[in-house]
Each structure stands twice: as structure tokens, then as C-alpha cells.
Structure 1
Amino acid sequence: MRQFIPTAFTIGNLFCGFLALHYAFSGNYVPAAWLIFLGAVFDKMDGQLARVMGRDSQFGLHFDSIVDACTFGIVPAAIIYQAHLPTGWGLALAFVFLLCGAMRLARFNTLSLDGERGEFYMGLAIPTAAVCLTQYVVFVKAWPIPHATPLAVLLILVLSFLMVSRLDYDSVPNFRGTSLSDRFKQLYFVTTVGLTIYDGIFFFPMILVYVFSGSIRWIFRLVHGAVTQHA
């Protein structure tokens, strides 16, 4: 029974993606976007549980990646296509997001199987990119902005590039850490959760901070010549 627990969360992730696709086809993009976020929560929990319970396996790794490609690749691409880019070139752009996400997953699997996992993730993780892209739809729905479609195009291109980049990204903060870096990550996490609970519209700008943190870190290290290991 214990062996099934991490897989159950992976199945929950897949169900969230499937249900989000249903809402997207119905034009209900806001609940679809929040289901993508819920899928990301399940995705994080299945990996953590597998490691804590000592249930890591190649089956789990590959099953999780297939599910991620569906929930965080196909479904967000469909949502942004239907919400902002219902044209031929929009379909092509949505596919670019899906393609880069699939490449990001393949690279992560390769590094994991080779045992090359370090302190940071290499490139923006596809669940984060998916949440950012779909929360943009939520943000624009609640707060209409001019040029929403061109900005959606820009966001797709930026997220796609960041997924296949070699930029460093943090995972969930270590809440037992006491260093200045740990404290900053803890503060960011708690602030994001608090503001999102207060009003969901804050989630998109807060996640953008994380999305661009990789670029900011790269610039900082370029100046200081620091070297890191990846996850």
C-alpha cells in the first residue's frame, strides 16, 4: 500500500490536467488554470514522498514525466491557445511551449538517471512555467490590460527559452535553513502564499519574480564569477 502512495499523487496530477482540459474546452480558463496549479502541488508532493519513503524508481520517474508532459505541457498550451491565440501561428507558438517543456523533462530525466543532481535545477521547471502561463490568463481575466495577446506571445517565448536554458533555479525553500539566502527564500514563499490567499490576482506577479530569478542570479554570478552545480 505504501508503494502506491507516491503514484496516487501522480495520478492526482494527471486527473487535474485532464479536468483542466475539460474546463479549457468549455471556455472556463480560470478554474482550468487553478487546476494546473493543484497539479503542480501534487507533482511536488509525489516526488517528496517517493524520496522520504525510499520509493524512487525508474517507473516512477518516467510515469511522472509522462504525466507532467500532459498536465504542464499539452494542457497549458491548449489553454493559452484558446484564450489568447486562436490562430494558426498561435497554434505554432503553443507547440513551441510544449516542445521546450518536453525537452526540459527529457533533460531532467537524463541528469537524474546519470546521478547528476546538485543544489539547483537546470532551467525553469515545466510545472512552474505552466503555472506562470496559465496564471497570466487568470490575471488578464481579473485585470484587463492592453496588448494582452502580444504579451502572451512574449511570455510563451520567454518561458520556452528559460525551460531549455542552463540557468539555475531554486526548488522549495529549506524551512530549517538559517542562512540569509534561506531566510530570503522562506520570506518569498510565505509572502507569495499569503498574498495569493488574500487575492489570487497577486499570484501571477509573484511567480514572475521566481521566473526571472534565474536570470538575475546569472547576471550576479557573471559579475562575481561564481560556479554552481545543477539538479
Structure 2
Amino acid sequence: MAKQKKALKTLGKKTRRLRERLNVNIYVLPNLLTTANMFCGFFAIIYTIKGQYLVASYAIVAAAVFDLLDGRVARMTNATSQFGAEYDSLSDIVSFGMAPGILLFHWSLQPFGRLGWLAAFFYLACGGLRLARFNVQKKVINVAYFQGLPIPMAAGIVASSVLAFDDLGLNPERSWGLLAMTFLLGFTMVSNFNYRSFKDIDLKESLPFTYLVMGVFLFAIVALHPEVMLFVLFLTYALLGAIFGILKLGKDSRKALIRGPHHDPELDEDIELLDADWDEETPTNTH
């Protein structure tokens, strides 16, 4: 009996070791994709230093593709891990924080001197803070929304701005608009503004016909002039989140003023009714 227990215990250990080895092999694929993400970010930095800004921009776009794939592959193969999550964040800070920051400085902000590199660093620092906050809030965040502009989207705006300026023949040097955009991207990344993630949409289920129409419409817009329209769409996404976030802050401030310092929860229903009356009385332009 003792020998049988010992044999079963030994078999259990061997089975556990085999399972661990199989898991390691499965984890290799998503981590390879994460490494490819980091490589593209490093590649973008090297080519930014060389002055080949278009190549650097395309490398950042490629990094975003690998970043999208590594998470999907990890979930599909049931290979998610804390190691993978941390490694992904380290890769993201290189590809979507460091690379776009250096690209912005060399491509446009360098003539501003100290203000230029401070703006680029502000972008990088906010990107790092955005990633750190995301890591500690993974279990409590709403899957349908991002809290703050995602750093890959911010990097996409930077990369697409380079492509758009080159396509339109615009001079990016000492551009106050690009300087303001750099600070805006940093601010929106660390803000509490909600940005739609679209992760709650299950493509395996039937969706309203309007989703298909919107998808075809967006595809047609991008195909019309890819370099410019991608920049316009990405920037619109960032600005809309900021605008709706500011409007929500104003609404919350108005509620706080109505409640006063001694808040009575029973008044919440009355406040909601006041909001409804406010919306009905506010004139709207139908033209």
C-alpha cells in the first residue's frame, strides 16, 4: 500500500512537471509577439536618430499590430500570465512611450529647445503612468471603456501625424499645433476620461446592421486617403473622449453644488429629475 502511494505521488510530480513544461511552450508564442513589439519600438528609435521619420512611423504602427496580437494569442491559447502582462508593459513603454517621444522631439519639437524636450518627456512620463495605472486596475476596470487614452492609440496619433504631414507636404518644425498635441496626448493618457474600448462587442454573435454600415463607412474613409484620414480618425477619437469627459466633469460639479456639503442620498432622485428638466429646456440646433 505504501509503495502504491509513493508511486502515485511520483507520477503526480512527473505529470505536474510535464504540464509546466507544456505551459512554458505555450507561453513562448505570445511572448515572442511581445518581443517583436519591443523590437519595432527599438527599430523606430534607431531610424528616428538616423532622420528617417517615415520608416520610424511605420515601425511604430507595426509595433501596435504586434501588441494587438500578443494579447489575443495569449487569451486564445489560455497562456495569460503575470509575467506576460509585465513584459507587455515594458515593451509598450519602449514602443509607445519612448519611440514616439523621441520621434516627436527629432521630427518637430527640437527647435523649441528646452520646451520641446520637456514636452516629449511629459508624453513619455504620462505614458508610463498610464501603463502603471492600467496594471493595478485590471481587475476592477470596466471592460467596455479605457480609463484615459490608451498609450498605443497615443503612439498611433504620433505616427499617423508624421505620415499625414509628409503626404500633405507640411513643415513640422517648430509647429505649435504639434507641441500642443504632445501635451494633450500626455494629459489624456493620465486623465479619468472614458474611451470606448469596443472589447464588449462579441464578433461571434449577431450584431445590429448599423455596425456593418459603420464599419464599411470607416473603411471607405480610410481607403480614400489613408495617411491623412488615419490621423484625423485617431485624433478625433482622442478629442471626443476629452470633450465628453470635460462635459461629464461639469455635470458632476453641478450636482455637487446642488447637493451641498451635507449630502443626503435621498436627494439624488430629485437631482436626476432636475437634469432631465435641464436637458428638455436646453435649446438644440436641428439644422
User: Residue type of the partner of 1:178?
Assistant: L
Q: What secondary structure is seen at the aligned counterpart in 2 of 1:4?
A: helix
**Cα distance between partner residues in 2 of 1:155 and 1:24:** 19
Matching residue within 148, 151, 154 for 2:180: 154
CA RMSD of aligned residues (A): 2.6
Matching residue within 140, 161, 165 for 1:136: 161
Equivalent in the alignment of 2:14: none
Distance change (3 Å), C-alpha of 1:147 and 1:27: closer
Which segments of 5 or more consecutive residues in structure 1 lack a partner in the other structure?
226-231
Higher normalized contact order (CA 8 Å, seq sep 6+, divided by chain length): 1
**Cα distance between partner residues in 2 of 1:179 and 1:166:** 30
Q: What secondary structure is seen at the aligned counterpart in 1 of 2:140?
A: coil
- Tell me by how many angstroms 1:136 deviates: 1.2
Counting only pairs closer than 5 Å after superposition, residues 11-90 of structure 1 correspond to structure 2 as 11-86=35-110, 87-90=113-116
Instruction: Output one character per residue of 1:179-207: Cα deviation in whole Å (capped at 9) or x when no partner.
Output: 48855764565346534xx5423221121
**Cα distance between partner residues in 2 of 1:193 and 1:55:** 34
Equivalent in the alignment of 1:194: 223
- Taking structure 1 as the reference length, the TM-score comes to 0.85
Which segments of structure 1 move beyond 6 Å, counting only runs of 4 or more? 222-225
Instruction: Output one character per residue of 1:60-106: Cα deviation in whole Å (capped at 9) or x when no partner.
Output: 11100011001111111100100111122211110000000000000
Aligned length in residues: 221
Contact between 2:164 and 2:231, CA under 8 Å: does it hold in 1?
A: yes
**Cα distance between partner residues in 2 of 1:65 and 1:122:** 16
Distance change (3 Å), C-alpha of 1:104 and 1:180: farther
Higher Rg of the two aligned structures: 2
**Cα distance between partner residues in 2 of 1:108 and 1:91:** 26
**Cα distance between partner residues in 2 of 1:207 and 1:21:** 22
**Cα distance between partner residues in 2 of 1:58 and 1:192:** 39
Which segments of 5 or more consecutive residues in structure 2 lack a partner in the other structure?
1-24, 252-271, 276-287
- Tell me by how many angstroms 1:169 deviates: 1.3
The more displaced of 73-82 and 176-185 is 176-185
